[in-house]
Amino acid sequence: MQAHSYNPEMNLDLPMNEGLWFLIGTVLVGIGTFVSFLSNRNSTFSRRGVQLLLGFALIALSLFLLQRGEIIHRCPLTNGFEATVFLTWGLILTYFLIGTSYQLSILGSFTAPLALLFLVLAGLFASDQPSTNLDPIRWSSEFHAAISILSYGTLGLAAICSGMYLIQEHHLKNHTFSGWFNRLPSMGDLEIVLHRLLRWGFLLMTLGMLSGLASGLFNQVSSVKLLWATIVWIWYFGLLLSPSLLRLSHRRFAWAALLGYFLVLLSFWIMNSLLGKNP
């Protein structure tokens, strides 16, 4: 992680150790990823262990975001680093709030590697320097950011289910009955969960966009960002309608869900970094 560099005019009432919580969270997610891979080969590693590690990682990232938020006196989404950590926090939180309710215990084994990838990218490539050019705090923008993060987390879980579905299909097609195959849920179950997660994610995304429109937040952002957000919304709206209108195959539907989340990440990272605005 890059060295901290803060605006000296900021009132830093807390000790600047929030980076330690980021490091702890990253290490815990990394251990969870390692354990998840081992548990696919050795039954002695319980999937509960992965959930426990992700739970502690969620606490560590929560403390990081809490301390950073108190330092900058707003939701910690002022740069690409904070936004990526917030995205990872939202992904793990959504896994516990929604993902675990679908009885897919292996979902945590797929969530951990994706969360680790986000954290490593944040630590290596994003600038850990809070923005000093900030608009006054408004509850509407904070609500918009929080709802958007939850929608990104839900759509991230949908993308993970899509990946699991495609892996399952690959094993069935090639008749390769490996350890991974034996642990994956049935394709029917994955399809049901995928559709449910997409509906929840789209609902939260719509609520986030409506809150931004109602508060006039979108009047302050670039037309490029607004256009991109609209494209992403239309993509998922079309995806939800596709079973009855486009009649996509299950495989193409899964690929479309993966591509949709790639568009979400582009919207979240590129627009957030280049335009310096909240998601």
Condensed to tens digits (0 to 9), the pLDDT of residues 189-209 reads 888 889 999 999 999 999 988
Query: Which amino acid, one-letter code, is at 202?
Result: F
Q: Pick from 278, 152, 275: which is nearest to 215 by CA?
A: 278
pTM to 2 decimal places: 0.79
**Segments making up each domain of the chain, as ranges:** 7-132, 135-279
Residue 274's pLDDT is what? Answer: 47
pLDDT, tens digit (0-9, with 9 covering 90-100), for 87-97: 999 999 989 88
Q: What is the pLDDT of residues 132-175, one digit of tens each?
A: 555 556 666 778 778 888 899 899 999 999 998 898 887 777 76
Residues of the chain with pLDDT under 70: 1-16, 39-46, 102-105, 126-127, 130-140, 175-183, 215-222, 224, 269-279
Fold of domain 7-132: Four Helix Bundle (Hemerythrin (Met), subunit A) (1.20.120)
37 three-class SS: helix
Q: How far is 171 from 177, CA to CA, in rounded Å? A: 7
- 10 Å CB burial of residue 62 (0-12, 13-18, 19+) is middle
pLDDT for the residue numbered 126:
64
Nearest to 82 by CA among 131, 44, 155, 48: 131
Angle between helices 18-39 and 80-97 (to 10 degrees): 50
The residue length of the chain stands at: 279
